[in-house]
Amino acid sequence: MADAARVRDPWGARTPYGPGEQWPVRVDTGGDPEADSWVPSASVLHSNGDAFDIGVRDGRITGVRGRAGDRVNRGRLDPKDVYGWRATASSDRLTRPLVRSGDRLVESDWETAMGRIVRRSRELLDGPGGWGRFGFYTSGQLLLEEYYTLGVLGKAGLGTPHMDGNTRLCTATAAAALKLSFGADGQPGSYTDVDHCDALALWGHNVAETQAVLWMRMLDRRRGVNPPAMLAVDPRDTPVTREADVHLALRPGTNLALVNGLLRLIIERGGADEGFVAAHTLGFDELRAVVDAYPLGKVAEICGLKPADLERAADLLGGSQRLLSTVLQGFYQSHQATAAACAVNNLHLVRGMIGRPGAGVLQMNGQPTAENTREAGADGDLPGFRNWENPRHVAELARLWNVGTARIPHWSPPTHAMQIWRYAEQGSIRLLWISATNPAVSLPDLARIRRVLAKPELFVVVQDIFRTETAEYADVVLPAAAWGEKTGTFTNADRTVHLTRKAVEPPGEARSDLAIFLDYARRMDFRDRDGGPLIPWQGPEEAYEAWQRCSAGRPCDYTSITYADLERGGIQWGGERLYSDGVFATDPDHCETYGQDLSTGAENTAEQYRAKNPGGRAFLLGAHWRPAPEVPSDEYPLHLVTGRTITQFHTRTKTGRVPELDDAAPFAWVELHPADAAERGIADGDQVRVESPRGAVRVVARLTGVRERVVFVPFHYAEQAANELTITAWDPVSRQPLFKVAAVRVTKEG
Ligand SMILES: Nc1nc2c(c(=O)[nH]1)N[C@H]1C(S)=C(S)[C@@H](COP(=O)(O)OP(=O)(O)OC[C@H]3O[C@@H](n4cnc5c(=O)[nH]c(N)nc54)[C@H](O)[C@@H]3O)O[C@H]1N2
Ligand SMILES: Nc1nc2c(c(=O)[nH]1)N[C@H]1C(S)=C(S)[C@@H](COP(=O)(O)OP(=O)(O)OC[C@H]3O[C@@H](n4cnc5c(=O)[nH]c(N)nc54)[C@H](O)[C@@H]3O)O[C@H]1N2
Ligand SMILES: [Mo]
């Protein structure tokens, strides 16, 4: 067994502090503290942006040391930060390109591998279907410079709208809720709001396990003088719900009914900030009419909660002066995701709890660089939070890239990831380029995904650092340089940008993702209108400068943040808090979206939007709760929710290779309520079978405090993949898949 002190003590010693004080420094380290040099970086194993230096000796990474001066972590590291860096030096990294030869992948060289991709690209581009044949499925784990380059080559080189990332599975709902309520993507709040708040509400967010350093900050406030009250909304028993003053263990898929009901109670008890509502919002009367349909008794019944607990929650939320909310996958991957996330925004707007120290919303991110996928347009969005329906925004990009506006896809909503997979299934997409994601484990309903990946007419490119389950289906596998082996920037959940510098050489012939995208653009000979190269930049800093120009004047303006500034520590774009002047990004010429219908996802037209005359006001957006598309039945009587555990990251390509982390949770399990277990003759530690209409997994039973009739399976394990069980369905607005909505049965293995 590897010694893993920080796995046993994940949050470390408390450093209590009081309201308005600065969070004390605590410098954590991992590995060998002796190094020849220290290179600035930050964590890529969650969205928190914990800043640390990478220690290097003899050309190898020897350890990590938290950065005391950084605004995000003030020196602290979480267990994955402490040990996870070891994955970079794994002996089974991809070191050479692989190409398909019959049913095998064989080692090759870059000329051959890129040659095959370019030949197929040209055939497809010149043939019927053209750009429509290309799909790019990227990540929330590359770097800003890489996304921007990918965005430009896809949007202005090939001209395809079929670009998205695993960010669709992750934070599409955060983006949608921010755009719809406030006019543009971009986190309103700041982590420093934890320092000032008097109440914390965690909506479907197991922050203790998923952003452990942010949790340390919350715990330190809870142990200091005048601690904030805490509400947790989660059907499971987690470290967060155990700490909370009020825990609402609601029935899964009922978030929207809950928040509507809480808002109704708050308004009824005089908790609305009428001045703020009148000056800074639109739609109060319509929202009021919606939430009035959610009286206490009805909400208690829908959500399966006690009316008294709902009242306690409403008192906590309605009585606070400085309320900070965080929202994550318990909302985003559940039923009516965007409507429920917007309902939390509604609550903050109605209470005037935004844009002040301690009063804010964090519509969280999950992956380390998800924010940048969205900003830089490596997903379907146009770079710089530009509005695809606004001809002026498209013209700005055309000018910047020196291409015709017709080249840039903007005639319909961008293709979302689930639709890209559908097109690949139906055969219209013929080249699918997958970078830094492992869909053969992470997408819903894996039996279907394997069928799509295996289609002979689909040319699959996989760009990864390891030979993953997805790589096995590839026609070409490109070996990428990992974190620590390349330079670039990325932005965390509270808009803090960090620089990560190359500390060591990549193994073998592995190349940075930036170098790979640039090489493809060069080989495809993408040109601008004057015959010059479409993508003239060479290295990360030049790519960053190109991005700075693209971001100028937009909400995510990076022009004042240079690499040299970032050497000293993380910097937030947009300043500490957005909207502190009460002016939201809803101006029709500035906004990122003209809005969507919360129930159907249908897009508004520019005329409809202008007619609302938002004038910098935020939108209050009400919607009614409806039952989820799959609910427990006689045959499948239990509600399955899937998610995470503190020591493992996603499909475990990294954490499964680090003994300290792997040992902590090497196999999957299912959490069951003791009564549900007893009914099935299941004891703690028994082998059980979890089965849905799509598939089955064998896992160990754990009897826990999860809500009755609800079971939880972590999704990290390729051999026991929770996604064998999940459904192909998504939120109509954000198009984020419903990973927390499925019905299963559990039986003891004989
Ligand atoms: N250790 C670790 N940390 C990570 C990651 C990781 O893989 N491992 N991944 C990172 C990424 S990409 C992401 S997106 C984040 C995700 O971070 P979280 O959102 O905190 O993680 P999850 O475990 O997916 O889901 C959170 C909770 O939602 C609850 N839940 C399920 N259904 C419902 C519901 O209907 N309503 C409510 N209110 N709650 C519900 C679950 O019980 C679960 O405890 O974590 C990031 N950090
Ligand atoms: N059932 C269920 N499914 C889920 C979820 C859930 O809660 N439940 N959560 C969803 C969410 S929120 C997310 S974010 C996804 C995550 O799902 P994935 O994106 O599939 O997860 P990872 O294992 O992080 O995959 C990232 C891949 O990138 C590779 N990689 C790492 N660094 C680099 C690099 O620098 N360059 C390149 N080219 N490759 C690199 C890794 O080796 C790995 O193969 O899963 C989603 N799926
Ligand atoms: Mo995520």
Query: Which residue has the CA at smallest separation from atom 32 of ligand 1?
Result: 330
Question: What percent of the chain stands above pLDDT 90?
Answer: 98
Whole-number Å distance between alpha carbons of 571 and 558? 10
β-pairing verdict for 281-282 and 246-248? unpaired
Give the closest ligand to the alpha carbon of residue 715: 2
> What was the pLDDT predicted at 380?
87
Amino acid at 356: R
Looking from the CA of 259 toward its CB, the CA atoms found within 13 Å total: 33
Question: What's the CA-to-centroid distance between 417 and ligand 2, angstroms?
Answer: 14
Is any ligand 2 atom within 6 A of the Cβ of residue 645?
no
In which residue are the tokens 């993408």 written? 526
Q: Is 607 helix (H, G, I), strand (E, B) or coil?
A: helix
Whole-number Å distance between alpha carbons of 376 and 385? 8
- Residue 411 contacts by C-beta under 8 Å, 6 or more apart in sequence? none
Is any ligand 2 atom within 6 A of the Cβ of residue 367?
yes
703, 633, 643: which is closest to 673 by C-alpha? 703
Question: What's the CA-to-centroid distance between 319 and ligand 3, angstroms?
Answer: 32
Question: What's the CA-to-centroid distance between 547 and ligand 1, angstroms?
Answer: 31
Pocket test for ligand 2, best of 41, 47, 141 (most atoms within 8 A of CB): 141
Query: Which residue has the CA at smallest separation from atom 17 of ligand 1?
Result: 210
Pocket test for ligand 2, best of 169, 363, 509, 725 (most atoms within 8 A of CB): 169
> What was the pLDDT predicted at 208?
98
- Domain 638-748: CATH class, spelled out: mainly beta
Does 381 score more than 50 pLDDT?
yes
Is any ligand 2 atom within 6 A of the Cβ of residue 500?
no
Confirm if 449 and 193 have CB atoms less than 8 A apart: no
> What was the pLDDT predicted at 2?
57
List pLDDT tens digits, range 120-174. Answer: 999 999 999 999 999 999 999 999 999 999 999 999 999 999 999 999 999 999 9
710, 690, 715: which is closest to 700 by C-alpha? 690
> What was the pLDDT predicted at 1?
46
- For the full predicted model, state whether its pTM sits above 0.85: yes
Amino acid at 181: S
Is any ligand 2 atom within 6 A of the Cβ of residue 150?
no
pLDDT band at 750 (very low <50, low <70, confident <90, very high): confident
Pocket test for ligand 1, best of 218, 740, 741 (most atoms within 8 A of CB): 740
44 CA: nearest ligand 2 atom:
32
Question: What's the CA-to-centroid distance between 443 and ligand 1, angstroms?
Answer: 15
Is any ligand 2 atom within 6 A of the Cβ of residue 141?
yes
Whole-number Å distance between alpha carbons of 223 and 274? 34
Give the closest ligand to the alpha carbon of residue 493: 1
- Domain 172-364+582-619: CATH class, spelled out: alpha beta
Give the closest ligand to the alpha carbon of residue 739: 2
Does 722 score more than 90 pLDDT?
yes
- Mean pLDDT, rounded, for 569-575: 97
Whole-number Å distance between alpha carbons of 742 and 721? 14
Question: What's the CA-to-centroid distance between 653 and ligand 2, angstroms?
Answer: 9
Whole-number Å distance between alpha carbons of 572 and 591? 21
For the chain, which residues make up each domain, given as ranges?
Answer: 5-89, 98-167+373-551, 172-364+582-619, 638-748
CATH code for the domain defined by 98-167+373-551 = 3.40.50.740
CA distances from 173 to 201, 282, 633 (A): 18, 21, 28
470 CA: nearest ligand 2 atom:
44
482 CA: nearest ligand 2 atom:
35
Confirm if 151 and 374 have CB atoms less than 8 A apart: no
* Ligand 1, CB within 6 Å, residue ranges: 46-47, 80, 170, 203-207, 209-210, 233-236, 238, 252-253, 255, 328-330, 334, 366-367, 641, 643-644, 646, 648-650, 712, 740
List, as one string, the DSSP characters of 569-601: --EETT-SSTTTTS--S--TTT-S---B-TTT-
Instruction: Report the 10 Å Cβ neighbour count for 546.
Output: 19
Give the CA radius of gyration of the chain. 24
- Mean pLDDT, rounded, for 699-718: 98
Question: What's the CA-to-centroid distance between 366 and ligand 3, angstroms?
Answer: 4
Pocket test for ligand 1, best of 169, 644, 713, 741 (most atoms within 8 A of CB): 644
643 CA: nearest ligand 2 atom:
7
Helix axes 307-319, 255-268, angle to 10 degrees: 60
What's the chain's average pLDDT? Answer: 97
Query: Which residue has the CA at smallest separation from atom 33 of ligand 1?
Result: 330
Does 542 score more than 80 pLDDT?
yes
435 CA: nearest ligand 2 atom:
38
Question: What's the CA-to-centroid distance between 333 and ligand 3, angstroms?
Answer: 10
Q: 274: which 2 tokens?
A: 């009428």
